[in-house]
């Protein structure tokens, strides 16, 4: 296929890009016209109605009602995200962070959608995006982006070819994503079984009085204790300013979710368990060894001599400390909420064996998950390259769909 002339997006559609409906959340209703947002359109697919929002019918002008084959493009945050409106989404409205293009007679709608998913189109969007706190890409910028425009027959051939080939890739990606979910479930189950049942299948068990385990069976010889008796000391970290944190330095700075950067002094030396104490990181648990700075966003716990730090780290993760947050709007947890919590306590040699077992087995599963994620990324790159090659005429698809 020879190279096709390039045409600005606005000339392939009726009237150029049109912004969506701006309506405050206070006007949302339980029933009415569904309002599509960028979050509803991930992966070019319409999200399920669970979590959908609706607006009153009288709040929607006719021009904001979608028709089949309308093309939506995100103009804020997830710029470049595209969605081709199917028949079952006709009559829905679209929100202000979306731009609508009404495909005209010059372009096959599915072909136009694939053009927006090509690497060159996405590169142009990202290169021209206005970046402040979030990315922004207005209708005028979309209007002036160009797409290759061969004959309608060739557009149809490209769209038919990509329909078939991308479905194959998408199906493969979905299978791999499901595999990741299954591996994650297996990982969680392995951890819970080891921490609750132990490693000896012959051990006699009894229901535990630990509230968060809801009467689960645990080895009969295990004790039940409270966190205050397995922790020698537990206190918040030390405040540190952004100016004190560097990209490199002799000491790591830990917050509620791992390393935040580096600094030139330390607050702790040894082996400690860190618990995130604020916001989305509330309840995150990390095992940290060596010399480091623990910031005010972390609670630092020093295990007593008879408690294995690795086992304790896994146990605190299993307990899901974030559920004991003092508030819901801005989650936060303090030492006072953690210390009274009960937990099952194996003997020290069992703790060490359980900790090693969990580390070894989860490392294997984590590697499988990482390999699967790499495969998915390569598949997405192949999908993008295939779309780009097809819409730019680098491959001749006419015989492929004959």
Average pLDDT, the chain: 91
6 has a pLDDT exceeding 80 = yes
What's the CATH code, domain 223-345?
A: 3.90.220.20
* Number of CB atoms found within 10 A of residue 75's CB: 26
CB half-sphere exposure, 183, CA atoms < 13 A: 19
Location of structure tokens 């960028």? 38
Rounded to a whole number, what is the distance in angstroms from the first to the last CA of the chain?
Answer: 15
223-345 shares the fold of 6-149:
yes
Strand, coil or helix: what is 400? coil
- Largest Cα separation within the chain, whole Å, is 78
Which residue would you say has higher pLDDT here, 104 or 34? Answer: 34
The mean per-residue pLDDT over the stretch 157-176 comes to 95
pLDDT tens digits, 352-368: 999 999 999 999 999 99
SS3 of 57, please?
Answer: helix
pLDDT in tens, 125-142: 888 776 544 557 788 889
pLDDT at 400 over 70: no
| Pair of tokens at residue 92 | 């829905």
Section 61-75 average pLDDT = 93
Q: Which helix (H) or strand (E) holds 351?
A: helix 348-391
Quote the pLDDT of residue 2.
Answer: 63
- The full set of domain ranges for the chain reads 6-149, 223-345
What are 333's two structure tokens?
């947890």
> Is the confidence at residue 1, as pLDDT, over 60?
no
pLDDT 10s digits, 322-346:
888 876 566 788 899 999 999 999 9
Q: Give me the pLDDT at residue 134, please.
A: 53
pLDDT above 70 covers what percent of the chain?
Answer: 96
User: Quick one: fold of 6-149?
Assistant: Adenine-n6-DNA-methyltransferase TaqI; Chain A, domain 2 (3.90.220)
């Amino acid at each position: 296929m020879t190279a096709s002339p390039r045409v600005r997006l606005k000339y392939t559609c009726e009237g150029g890009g049109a912004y969506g409906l701006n309506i405050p959340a206070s006007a949302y209703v339980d029933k009415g016209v569904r309002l599509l947002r960028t979050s509803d359109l991930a992966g070019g697919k319409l999200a399920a109605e669970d979590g959908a929002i609706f607006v009153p019918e009288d709040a929607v002008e006719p021009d904001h009602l979608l028709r089949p084959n309308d093309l939506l493009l995100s103009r804020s945050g997830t710029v470049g995200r595209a969605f081709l409106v199917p028949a079952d989404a006709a009559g829905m409205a679209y929100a202000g962070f979306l731009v609508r293009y009404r495909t005209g007679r010059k372009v096959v709608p599915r072909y136009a959608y694939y053009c927006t998913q090509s690497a060159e189109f996405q590169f142009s969007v990202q290169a021209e995006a206005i970046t402040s706190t979030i990315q922004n890409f207005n209708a005028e910028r979309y209007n002036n982006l160009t797409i290759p425009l061969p004959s309608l027959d060739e557009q149809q051939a490209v769209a038919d070819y990509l329909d078939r080939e991308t479905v194959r890739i998408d199906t493969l990606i979905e299978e791999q994503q499901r595999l990741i979910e299954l591996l994650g479930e297996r990982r969680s189950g392995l951890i819970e079984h080891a921490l609750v049942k132990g490693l000896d299948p012959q051990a006699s068990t009894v229901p535990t009085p630990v509230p968060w385990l809801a009467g689960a069976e645990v080895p009969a010889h295990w004790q039940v204790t409270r966190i205050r008796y397995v922790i020698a000391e537990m206190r918040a970290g030390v405040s540190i300013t952004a100016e004190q944190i560097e990209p490199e330095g002799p000491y790591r700075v830990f917050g509620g979710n791992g390393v935040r950067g580096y600094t030139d002094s330390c607050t702790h030396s040894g082996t400690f368990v860190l618990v995130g104490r604020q916001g989305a990181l509330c309840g995150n648990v990390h095992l940290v060894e060596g010399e480091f700075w623990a910031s005010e966003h972390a609670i630092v716990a020093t295990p007593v001599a008879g408690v294995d730090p690795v086992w304790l780290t896994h146990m605190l993760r299993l307990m899901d400390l974030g559920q004991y947050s003092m508030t819901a709007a801005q989650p936060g947890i303090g030492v006072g909420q953690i210390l009274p919590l009960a937990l099952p306590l194996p003997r020290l040699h069992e703790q060490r064996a359980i900790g090693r077992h969990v580390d070894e087995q989860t490392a294997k599963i984590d590697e499988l998950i990482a390999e699967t994620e790499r495969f998915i990324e390569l598949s997405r790159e192949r999908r993008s390259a295939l779309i780009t090659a097809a819409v730019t005429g680098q491959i001749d698809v006419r015989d492929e769909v004959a």
